[in-house]
Amino acid sequence: MSALFEPITLRSLTVPNRLWMAPMCQYSAAPDGPAAGAPGDWHFQHLAARATGGTGLILAEATAVSPEGRISPYDLGLWNDTQTEAFRRITDFLKAQGTIPGIQIAHAGRKASTERPWVNRGGPVLPVQRHGWEPVAPSAVPFDDGFATPAELSVEQIQERVAQFGAAARRALAAGFQVAEIHGAHGYLINEFLSPFTNRRTDEYGGSYENRTRFALEVVDAVRAVWPDELPVFFRISATDWLTEDESDAREGWTADDTVRFARDLREHGIDLLDTSTGGNAPDAKITTGPGYQVPFAERVRKESGLAVGAVGLITEPRQAEKIIADGQADAVLLGRELLRSPSFAQQAARELGAEIPVPQQYLRAV
């Protein structure tokens, strides 16, 4: 038996296997007009192809809780009924293939208002430019040279963003999603609050660990309040800013120790799985990469907090993914770029590992 193709049950939801699709922005929604932020044909085929390929759970890309929360003007959103209705076509199809549909709800914070990555290398779209807007953040610290200085959120505005996450989760449920993932990683708004590198506040949302995690936990509570008890909620985290790992860098950032501590807090607040990534908050951090380079962070969280974890990062081979699950390093693996290259990776992995998974009858002659 293959560990990778064993089902896993979270709350009352059973996912058919442990090979999942990580959320990957497609930058392909309309930037304005009545269909702004709504998924279209590109998003349908992108997600549907991985479902017919056998992926057990698919997380739709970072989907903004408000227009200002988009990474780029071309991102998906869940702030109106048009977007909610457009997602139903996708979730219905994924369920029909036996795949669990999930969605990542997000706010880009100071990294908002950027170009698509294939235009000007994804550089900033400044507020004075077409489709540009002023980003917001816990503190008025720009992401990098050339980026706009974000407006520092007031306490009242922070509470408005908490409510936006809750409203987006309610829409996600209405759209047919069975998993909601809160995006707290990669230098976006929640990560900016968590890390002392980007959070310079001196009020109840800054300074101490308890204050810096306050916004994240309020968001979790708002989402969990509208999400059914029988369905799971995930949280994606950057387990480290990769600052303390570099002894030559004196800057203070979010650490692996913080992540383990926070995982315990998240578990108490009703989070069911920690989708464990790293980096994205400090643009000049020195990151040591390699196959499975982020897996040890997930493994540590799983062992020290008891929270289920997903492992990500340069996982590209079936036997590599199998070993991660079989060795107890993670409860699931989430593939990104490998699934862009190979939409039917799950089918291929099943054949290599001697597992049997359903194949669409239209494709049976290829088996």
Query: Active-site residues: which are they?
Result: 188
The count of other CB atoms within 10 Å of the CB of residue 247 is 6
Please give the backbone phi and psi of residue 309, each rounded to the nearest 5 degrees, phi first: -135, 155
Q: Are 58 and 101 within 8 A, CB to CB?
A: yes
User: For residue 116, which of 103, 107, 125 has the smallest C-alpha distance?
Assistant: 125
Please give the backbone phi and psi of residue 356, each rounded to the nearest 5 degrees, phi first: -115, 125
Tokens of 241: 């800013």
Q: Are 168 and 105 within 8 A, CB to CB?
A: yes
In Å, what is the CA distance from 139 to each residue of 62, 91, 196, 201, 259? 22, 37, 10, 6, 21
The count of other CB atoms within 10 Å of the CB of residue 8 is 18
How far apart are alpha carbons 136 and 157 in whole angstroms?
10
∠ Cα 292 352 53 (to 5°): 80
